[in-house]
Chain A
Amino acid sequence: MLQPPTLPTNYTVKPGQIKTSTGKTLRTEEMIINMGPQHPSTHGVLRLEIVVDGEIIVDCIPHIGYLHRCFEKHCEHMTNYQQVIPYADRMDYCSAMTNEWAFALAMERMLKIEVPERVEYIRVIMAELQRIASHLIAIGTFGIDSGAFTPFLYAFIDREKILDLFEMTCGARLLYNYIWIGGVSHDLPPKFIEQAKDFIKYFRPRIKMMNDLLSYNEIFVKRTANVGVLPREVAINYAVSGPQLRGSGVNWDLRRDDPYSIYHKLQWEPQIGKGEMGTVGDCWDRHIVRMREMEQSLNIIEQALDSLPEGNVKAAIPKRIRPDKDAEIYVRTEASRGELGFYIVSDGTASPFRVKARGPAFVNLSVLPEIAKGAMIADLVLIAGSIDIVLGEVDR
């Protein structure tokens, strides 16, 4: 029944086009609004400078850096490589496990360390649990952006259960320092497998419930379908990654296409947006890709739990890591938000010479001005929400 009129994307009323009844031209001008850094829908301290014509956005300029904490500079001042990991945690604080893993993996590849098989399994379990937790935040806040408050709290109830699992493993709930170079800090606690399986059993029906409540809600579909369409070519040109890239219909997942760890041994499918409710690459596609990825993550965790081998959880690594002089490596992993890469250059000393973090949110956000033009203010909120940025990682 609700069929909104399709908006012309290039719609603007130019000054001097509106005439009053007496024949005079009415003076109209565009309004510049600051959205953020203190705004509930910018997911942190993002500032969007938007030029609007009524409700329609003519231009959108993101300003970032309000949460800049000199991650890269700090790395150069560490006394050893292991110290970087707690900092990496704080980049994308909604998905700390995957950050740690990316850095640890980069160092292991640089030093050619083979980690025990049990470690690989534990890491996969942790990373996939973290992916679910991170996607839950993304979905919940996306619900708030669209005006539905309740799904947010449901998502947080479920996320809490994952955080409980993390807490029993490493004592921390948000920033873990769990995955170390060459292993993990602790072995899994005795009841972990049991409780993780309970969680999987509990969570599958919750995904369906969330879909019923939010994803297939008529109003939600009307709000998100055909909004913020990110075409395939633009997505690739802007090096967008993760659910946002897959939402644009690109079948690309680093876990499969640039394999690391044991993902090639497990059965799972990358989910892509198909444009079921509108155009491929709209907000709804990005949302549903996240919903479906959670199911896939559950499959991965289930298989990893079933075939978890016994063994040591730390590889033998030198106490003081000194890579070769001029050794350099770029390693990319599929974090919750997309391609998280670390470019590490060594000068032969115990501290890194240069660390560049290529965060998915930073790159994904850079495409926002491209897709925001011609949308309405209410859409901009949804587009920003569907990009799923974490300012901690955008600003580093």
Chain B
Amino acid sequence: MTPQEILDILKTKFGEAIVESKQDVQQPWICITPDKTKEICLFLRDEASLQFDYLSCLSGMDYGNGNFGVVYHLFSMVHKHKIVIKTFCAKDNLQVHSVSSVWGTANWHEREAFDLFGIIFDEHPDLRRILLPDDWEGNPLRKDYKVQEFYHGMRVPE
């Protein structure tokens, strides 16, 4: 199924929740609202004609200027088609609905995005830092990140 057809299906089903999409790029993507990610992803996984059973990658994004986002790369093992789902959120409201109940693999990816970007995933079962120590300050992959000066009395190298 082509990305355009997937977009049409989603638009008829969810309407307002589909914010925008881009079809003329190398990997076409569809942008959805952050509070509807779980419903839409569940639909994408379970709809017989779509069956996106494989969440290949989930990446947090900082687009600069206080714009954040999450990018989902979905593949279907059954139909062998793919789609990129994006969701954007602003820095003062970094809340995205978790999809870890849809795909188990999202659990650790979301923890990583939480750790490195500070994106908060609603209804995530275990939202803790994963790569950095629990008491680390800041989210390193943010564009405006400043390294903390001391960590447990040790100077942090630049």
Contact = CB atoms under 8 A, between A and B. Distances in A.
B26 A329 contact: yes
B27 A330 contact: yes
Interface in B88-141: 103-105, 107-109, 116, 129-133, 140-141
Classify chain B's interface size: 20 to 34
A252 B103 CA distance: 18
B140 A70 contact: yes
Interface string B9-45: 0000000000000000111000000000000000000
A274 B56 CA distance: 25
Contacts of A341: 56-57, 73
Contact of A343 (B54, B57, B80, B103): B57
B108 A363 contact: yes
Residue among A250, A339, A370 facing the most chain B CB atoms (10 A cut-off): A339
Contacts, number: 83
Interface string A205-246: 000000000000000000000000000001011111000000
Given A330-B56, A358-B57, A68 B132 contact: yes
Contacts of A362: 108
Contacts of A345: 61
B57 A356 contact: yes
Given A236-B77, A250-B77, A327-B26, A356 B131 contact: no
B55 interface: yes
Given A72-B116, A330-B56, A65 B130 contact: yes
Interface in A329-359: 329-330, 332, 339, 341, 343, 345, 354, 356, 358
A110 B77 contact: no
A372 to B, nearest CB: 14
Contact of A354 (B55, B57, B61, B105): B61
A396 B115 CA distance: 14
B105 A363 contact: yes
Contacts of A370: 104
Interface residues of A, number: 38
B140 A73 contact: yes
B26 A109 contact: yes
B141 A234 contact: no
Nearest to A257: B80
Contacts of A68: 131-132
B6 interface: no
Contacts of B56: 239, 330, 332, 339, 341, 358
A367 B131 contact: no
Residue among A65, A240, A356, A367 facing the most chain B CB atoms (10 A cut-off): A356
A367 B77 CA distance: 19
A321 interface: no
A64 interface: yes
A92 interface: no
Contacts of A64: 130-131
Nearest to B107: A366
Contacts of A30: none
A366 B130 CA distance: 11
A145 interface: no
A236 B53 contact: yes
Contacts of B59: 343, 354, 356, 358
A236 B52 CA distance: 10
Nearest to B62: A354
Given A343-B57, A354-B59, A110 B26 contact: yes
A269 interface: no
Given A362-B108, A395-B131, A237 B53 contact: yes
A328 interface: yes
Given A68-B132, A252-B77, A257-B80, A73 B141 contact: yes
A222 to B, nearest CB: 30
Given A329-B26, A396-B131, A366 B104 contact: yes
Given A329-B26, A343-B59, A65 B133 contact: yes
Interface string A357-391: 01000110011001000000000000000000000
Interface in A72-106: 72-73, 76
22 contacts: A65-B131, A72-B141, A76-B141, A236-B53, A239-B55, A239-B56, A252-B77, A257-B80, A258-B75, A328-B25, A329-B26, A330-B57, A343-B57, A354-B59, A354-B62, A358-B57, A358-B59, A362-B108, A363-B109, A366-B104, A366-B108, A396-B131
Interface of B: 25-27, 53-57, 59, 61-62, 71, 73, 75, 77, 80, 84, 103-105, 107-109, 116, 129-133, 140-141
